[in-house]
Amino acid sequence: MNEPDNELCLVLHSVPGLSDAKLLALLRHFGSPAAVLAADRNAWALAGVESAACSALEVARRRNGHPAAPWSVPRALAAMRSVGARVFAITDPDYPALLRTIHDPPPLLYCRGDTEVLRAPCLAIVGSRKASPAGLRMAAELAAAAAGVGLAVASGLALGIDGAAHRGALSGGSTLAVMATGIEQVYPRRHRGLAVDVAASGCLLTEFPPGTPPLRANFPQRNRLISGLSLATVVIEAALPSGSLLTAGSALEQGREVFAAPWSIFHRNGRGCLRLIRDGAGIVESIEDVLLELGSLHQLQLNLESVVSEADSNDALPAGQARLLALLGDTAEDLDSLVIASQLPVATVLAGLSSLELLGRIARSPGGYVRC
């Protein structure tokens, strides 16, 4: 994507009153940022945008960004240019395939580094900021082992376990750092050098526009992206409660596997992990403990990456997608019901539903999925 494309995305992101959900719906309806901005307010209204947001869209289009935004488009473009960043929409072929399958994917994703890493199978490794020496060692060694078998490692660039996981992955492979700030900022500041290393052989990602400071509310929101990018999530250490447990919860909601380290009950940050294991998380002591679970989920990623070419070919559907489509009608069906009725693996059902949604054959509703 070149700078004019970056500019179109920033113009859309500057519109006050246009929620992420509405922007997501607009992009899916029109197919690209350029097509959204080329439409008129009648077309926007038909796509479900309220009158006030339609007026704001007109202002943003006319003025190359909305004046009420907390940042200007030229300033945001300059910030992105200063770190070599780009932004792409959910309709872009480079948008991570697995991330599309979560129920609330970011409509726009800002990236810095090698975006080819986004096509690699990924393992999330998260944990406490106030980690023990044993936890830091386990995170680094597990990340290095994951990188050694071809997995990229996703984490949140935080102190403690996150930083150890990024460094471990960089020792022999690639890593993804999901940020809770604008793409040109690094938090915590002491990880600025680590961020440079990540961008050199991996990728920095954020859903927040340039100029966004490290607001407390942004950190739980970004956690769903860490798990959404990944085939599975490993929690190394976690207190009760903690952000790492929120990431694990997001992974479960997204149909991904969750693993936790089996600490002693006397370990300071072991209680969260023991709670996860009690609730059904897999025990992880080495990379071999997670590799067996990644096969079918990696196939989900590969299936999703072929959706664009399928959409361009013809209307014929693979057998699994046709079976799912036949089960859907005007009444919403949730994921569990479709897995039971189709007798297909969860990974196959997720891949099929995402493919059908991108092909415009089905749509999401509050209760699940309906046929278009």
Residue showing tokens 């580094």: 113
Q: What local confidence, expressed as pLDDT, does residue 339 receive?
A: 81
Q: Look at residue 77 and tell me if it is in a domain.
A: no
- Kindly give, in sequence order, each residue whose CB lies less than 8 Å from that of residue 126, ignoring residues fewer than 6 positions away: 155, 156, 161, 162, 165, 223, 226, 233, 234, 235, 236, 243, 244, 247, 248
Q: Are residues 226 and 282 in the same domain?
A: yes
Low-confidence spans in the chain with pLDDT less than 50: 307-314
Of 296, 318, 339, the residue that ends a domain is: 296
Residue 273 shares a structural domain with residue 124: yes
Asked if 153 and 8 sit in the same domain, the reply is no
Whether residue 277 sits in one domain with residue 311: no
- The pLDDT value recorded for residue 47 is 87
Are both 173 and 284 inside the same structural domain? yes
Domain-ending residue, one of 69, 90, 123: 69
> Per the domain annotation, does 318 fall within a domain?
yes
Asked whether the beta carbons of 12 and 33 are under 8 A apart, the reply is yes
Q: What are phi and psi of 205, to 5 degrees?
A: -135, 150
- Identify the CATH number of the domain in which residue 310 sits: 1.10.10.10
**In terms of domains, do 133 and 20 share one?**
no
* pLDDT for the residue numbered 322: 82
Among residues 247, 275, 296, which one ends one of the domains?
A: 296
| DSSP-assigned beta bridge partners for residue 234 | 125, 259
The total domain count for the chain is: 3
What whole-number percentage of the chain has pLDDT above 70? 93
pLDDT of res. 365: 79
Q: Rounded distance, CA 126 to CA 225, Å? A: 12
Contact 271, 132 (CB under 8 A): no
What's the pLDDT at 13?
Answer: 97
Domain shared by 47 and 168, yes or no:
no
- Range(s) of the domain holding residue 142: 115-296
Domain assignment present for residue 171? The answer is yes
Pairing of strands 122-126, 85-89: unpaired
Residues paired with 85 in a beta bridge:
112
| 166 and 286 co-located in one domain | yes
Confirm whether 64 is domain-assigned. Answer: yes
For 185-209, give the DSSP string.
--SSGGGHHHHHHHHHHSEEEESSP
Tell me: cis bond preceding 106? Omega within 30 of 0 counts. no
Backbone torsions φ then ψ of 112, nearest 5 degrees: -140, 120
Same-domain pairing of 322 and 212: no
Structure tokens at 184: 């040109």
The pLDDT score that the predictor gives to residue 238 is 95
85 assigned to some structural domain: no
Domain identity same for 246 and 314: no
